[in-house]
Amino acid sequence: MSDYPVLTMELNIGGRPMTLETGKLAKQAGGAVFVRYGETAVLVTATMARNIRTGIDFFPLTVDYEERFYAVGKIPGGFIKREARPSEKAILSGRLIDRPIRPLFPKQLRNEVQVIATVMSVDQDHAPEIAAMIGASAALHISEIPLKYPIGGVIVGRVNGELVINPVLAQAEQSDLHLVVAGTKDAVMMVEAGAKEIPEKIMLDAIAYGHSAVRDIVDFIESYREAALAKGLAKAKILPEITEPAPELVDIVTRSATPKIEGALIRCSSEKLSKLTRDNFLDEIKAELVEQFLEQFPEQENDIKELLESIEKQLVRRMIVTKGIRIDGRALNEVRPITVEVGILPRAHGSGLFTRGQTQILSSATLGTISEEQILDGLGVEESKRFIHHYNFPPFSVGETRPMRSPGRREIGHGALAERALSAVIPDEGAFPYTIRLVSEALESNGSTSMGSVCGSCLALMDAGVPISAPVSGVAMGLIKEDDQLTVLTDIQGFEDHLGDMDFKVAGTVKGITALQMDIKIAGISQEVFEQALAQAHEGRMHILQKMLDVLPASRPELSPHAPRIIHTTIDPEKIRDVIGPGGKIIKKIIEETGADIDIEDDGRVFIAAVDQEKGKRALEIIESLTKEVQAGEIYNGRVVKIMDFGCFVEVIPGVLGLTGKEGLVHISQLAHHRVNKVEDVVKEGDMILVKVIGYDNQGRLKLSKKDAMPAPEGGEEKNDRQNRSSRRRE
């Protein structure tokens, strides 16, 4: 037994117990909590560096979500057989934790803080990301790290019209909503949702329902810290040192700089300067002011720059809240000018260029076979997916230079958001048996490239002829809060995102919301603000959607001539070996002869893909020939392939690829309604004759009848036989 004290407490979430334990594992971390939820187990640690990281002007927070394959009894794929770079799901889960806690740290904190959630066991009915989020909040709260308030988080589903907290796997599969709500006791801090065209009112109810569960979790974490303090397992908070600039400097800079910066901002708004022109103009004004103040305060350049940034931020916010003036001269609910083009990439299967102000997205759609779907090597139940959206953010999109590297967390997050927004309208595999890959290139960026990607990608899908159930558009909303005054902005640009308090992204169809994401920089917002933001977002979405539909009202009726045509059929799984052949010999012959790509699933589904439709049809004919069953009682037009004394062999299904077709024996007694003395009197080799399948012999060989495939002569067989016998006697 350990001599260290251990604290274990339990709370109920979604009707099931969750257990938090500290004091037993990872005792050298600043705070460590082992979370059990069902059979899901996650160890979450929170640690802060002892020394301040000098030379930076931001809070260095890192949240890592580490998946371990032993959590689901798997050995990692690949040659090395160990976990390597995090999966997309792990990156998105880390972002889910990061976003609600980041605004709750003191702005002056410069010590590095690292939160690590290690997923050690996964029960698919209990989401590990929710256990990790709650564990992160608890670990931070019992540590010395100065998080202002603890948070809680839950998943809200909707099954048969009923809202459910943390739905189990069976419920999640039936749910038309997957909503993650995180927040403090008083306010929602983060929302992330994927939905099947959920109306705004239902979404608001779901957010409120989730937040009520969050309050209970926060209360529990607060009591958990009190119990940990009593056992010596929690630490006193360390507050960052706050160094304020000298009052004399603040006074002089504020009085002298405010009129000049305010005049510059008014000019930017009235002249509606472009992003780069405006940025250069404001930078020149601030550079002149820095030089001016350095003459009097030569050692305080950083303080001067921070004061000027603060003045600029406050002036922009005040212009919006008190005067309704935006930096580019737009109304508060006005969307920037939109232009739409489709089909600009000749060889891509579909393409859409969406430009909104100085945000420009070029999206392309590629259609592939089912075998090209993405294989998922992770801890979830999904092993593959056939709809993929990727997002790229090159440096030239903001007029900068930097090394080109693999996608970062932001790119993966934006790509996943657009994918979630569009997945609700993608046709299922049975109706459209293709793997679909979308790629969105951010060619220009000045606010909400993720929502631009939703619009551009929807256009690309429609241009490619994908029969989506409804077109989707998206818009980003902003919020400025000054004291008790709140202003919601439609279609925020980068400057407003940087200086504002919220980035609220909504995507959906005319019918309802398909994706929603909120990032907030203040201590949460109320239900009323949510309601206003969603209503204003709906108005903006519909405006943008109409601009898209003016150019392309619906999906094209035909696929691109460069896209593969996929023919879908189903065969008996027992016949798969007949198509594949020994060592894949037969299927290779089919591919070689037709040029088609062929995928055969274990359940007998066959997908034939070929750009030339005639080649695809030829491949289908071959496969049907190889797998077609000869049915008893059916009549076939067969070819006589061999004559014997006792009858003839007839090929009822032709052979393909040099293989023997399906043959059966027509006994001499089954050649005609009258007696036949010699087979050649009735048929010759190569003749095409109608035969009826009358069964199989003891060895499983096919028995055919020519007699039964044609009508009997008048008077019946008996009369005919008498006539034949009389004829023979005369001869």
Amino acid identity, position 332: L
Do the annotations mark residue 328 as ligand-binding? no
Q: Which of 343, 338, 355 is nearest to 544 (CA)?
A: 338
Q: Which of 386, 344, 361, 343 is nearest to 558 (CA)?
A: 343
Per the DSSP assignment, residues forming a β-bridge with 440 are: 363, 391
How would you classify the pairing of strands 647-653 and 635-644? antiparallel
Judge whether 264 and 281 are in contact, CB under 8 Å.
Answer: yes
What angle do the packed helices 275-294 and 301-323 form, to 10 degrees? 130
Judge whether 610 and 563 are in contact, CB under 8 Å.
Answer: no
Residue 614 CA to residue 602 CA, distance in Å, equals: 26
Judge whether 373 and 386 are in contact, CB under 8 Å.
Answer: yes
Residue with tokens 């994401």: 517
Residue 654 CA to residue 640 CA, distance in Å, equals: 11
Cα–Cα distance list, 605 to 263, 429, 584 (Å): 69, 11, 17
667, two tokens? 């006994």
DSSP H stretches of helix in 595-663: 613-627
Residue with tokens 């806690």: 101
Cα dihedral 368, 371, 372, 378 sign: positive
Count other C-beta atoms under 10 Å from residue 695's C-beta.
Answer: 12
Do the annotations mark residue 602 as ligand-binding? no
How would you classify the pairing of strands 61-67 and 111-121? parallel
Per the DSSP assignment, residues forming a β-bridge with 392 are: 441
Count other C-beta atoms under 10 Å from residue 125's C-beta.
Answer: 18
Cα dihedral 356, 360, 361, 362 sign: positive
Within 13 Å of residue 398, how many CA atoms lie on the same side as its CB? 16
How would you classify the pairing of strands 384-385 and 374-375? antiparallel
Per the annotation, binding residues are 497, 503
Per the annotation, binding residues for Mg(2+) are 497, 503
